[in-house]
Amino acid sequence: MIDLSEQALSVVEIHATAWGLPTSAERVAKRVCSTMDEISNFYDAMLPHMEEILDYLNQFSLDTIPDNVKPIAWTALAMCEVDNPVRWKSVTLSSGFDVLGMVPKSSFYDSSFVA
């Protein structure tokens, strides 16, 4: 087991408080309510360490990632959420439907709405 370098660890730790959220739904909500500056800061700080972070996390089997490591995994996943905003230079797309209106389903059969 190779540990994360101190640099990488300190960067993730700084950003895990804000971005290390357990579910996709929480991460998209976080993205949508962030400013472009917050998103860019997060992205720019994390990007140089992403390869290392993924290599580190890949040492575990997905089901047994230890609890104290999980926030690192969630923070890495949040990078997927901010990838497009960084490219667009915009938190959301004016040409897009409200992504929060696309509600995650719990199964194929989870079709109903509380209007």
Contact by Cβ (8 Å): 85, 91 = yes
- Which two structure tokens, joined as six digits, stand for 80? 């997927």
Query: Would you tell me how many other CB atoms lie within 10 Å of the CB of residue 16?
Result: 18
| Residue 66 binds another protein, judged by CB under 8 A | no
| Residue 81 binds another protein, judged by CB under 8 A | yes
| Residue 33 binds another protein, judged by CB under 8 A | no
Contact by Cβ (8 Å): 57, 23 = no
Binding segment for another protein among 1-9, 10-18, 32-40, 50-58 (CB under 8 A)?
A: 50-58
Question: CA 53 to CA 47: how far, in whole Å?
Answer: 10
| Residues found near another protein in the complex (CB under 8 A) | 24, 28, 47, 50-51, 54, 57-58, 60-62, 65, 73, 76-77, 79-81, 83-84, 86-88, 93, 95-99, 101-105, 107-113, 115
